[in-house]
Amino acid sequence: MNIGILTSGGDCPGLNAAIRGVAKASYEMFDNVTIFGIDDGYHGLIHGNYTKMEPYQFSGILTLGGTIFGTSRQPFKEMRNIGEDNIDKVKSMVENYEKMNLDCLVTIGGNGTHKSANMLSDEGLNVIGLPKTIDNDLWGTEVTFGFHTAVDIATDVIDRIHTTASSHGRVMIIELMGHKAGWLNLYAGVAGGADIILIPEIPFEHHKIIEAVEKRTVSGKNFSIVAIAEGSISKKESAMSAKEMEEYRKESGYFSVAHRVADKIQTKTGFETRVVSPGHVVRGGSPSAYDRILSTRFGVHAAELIKDKKFGRTVALENNQISSNKLSEVAGKLKLVPKDCEMVEDARRLGISFGD
């Protein structure tokens, strides 16, 4: 039994735990198994960069952040395009799969990774996916590993901002990752006690944000905490085309939505307003206990799918049980925050504003 494993896209806590889960379970389930670690995601599969692994190399990585195999972004929309290097990427991946004499390729990644995995499955390769992303935006699974750790870190950032915000009487805006989905910002915002939460799924109005800040001031609060996802947009922007939005943002003089909102608040209210962006900090470091368990269980289930020869699937958590879905049903579908979901409604009942 020959198994290839790659990690693709953005890194997150739990990748090494998932790799370990696949490997250790495979060594237990199969009498004779060889595992190939593929370097830097699909880039390694395209260029034939991989290593024949030994069992000892999977020891001591459960708590390690990042990925021992390395990762990179290989945009799905460019997979079938032949660039200046004159490499047929899909053909090369198939050839290297065959060169390793693989019985299965395990791809660990987010939405783009799953689209490419489904493409390779359509090419006739045996592929199994594992869902990771701090955005928690993969369709078909209740949660992706990496999400809970990122929420913990982001919540800690908001906790710490509270003390400096109250000390200086400022409006503090924390800009978190989340280009299309606001799960991370929503959960961290509620857990961290943010007063205003802005997510991509609920377009905001600047005057509503300002009203929320001023309402707190009237009630005797000398500071406000705004948790904002990087992909949040105003209602005005939501009606624009991509080109119109680009021009509109250029005119504002600010690249990030957090700085545009900060400028509006300070200009309209006179309150000192600051922006904090933890950026890649939220995806780094050791995984939480929850993510160690989840990613390990995902890895074990992947090995079981290989044993049962159930390929073309991706592992999932459904009703708190580990299961799997067809890659074709998951690839390309985002799980966004419903505007009327229970989490949003509970936040509103707490008096949290979504700027709408």
Q: Domains of the chain, with CATH numbers? A: 2-146+287-330 (3.40.50.450), 148-283 (3.40.50.460)
Give yes or no: 135 in active site.
Answer: yes
Letter for the amino acid at 123?
E
Residue 181, exposed/middle/buried by CB under 10 A (0-12, 13-18, 19+)?
buried
Nearest to 274 by CA among 173, 200, 185: 173
Which residue in the block uniquely carries the two structure tokens 């944000």?
209
Residue 70 DSSP SS3: coil
What is the per-residue pLDDT for 242? Answer: 87
Are 355 and 173 contacting, i.e. CB atoms less than 8 angstroms apart? no
- Return the bridge partners of 129, or none: 107, 314
**Of 11, 39, 40, 135, catalytic:** 135
Residue 321 has which token pair?
């049980």
pTM of the model: 0.94
What is the per-residue pLDDT for 234? Answer: 93
Q: What is the mean pLDDT of each run of 10 residues along the chain (356 residues)?
A: 96 97 97 96 96 97 96 90 89 97 97 96 97 96 97 97 93 96 98 98 96 94 96 93 87 86 94 94 96 98 98 96 96 94 96 96
Pairing of strands 313-318, 321-326: antiparallel
Q: What percent of the chain has pLDDT over 90?
A: 91
Which residue in the block uniquely carries the two structure tokens 């992909």?
231
Nearest to 141 by CA among 9, 10, 335, 8: 335
What is the per-residue pLDDT for 106? Answer: 98
Letter for the amino acid at 345?
E
Q: What percent of the chain has pLDDT over 70?
A: 100
What is the per-residue pLDDT for 253? Answer: 79
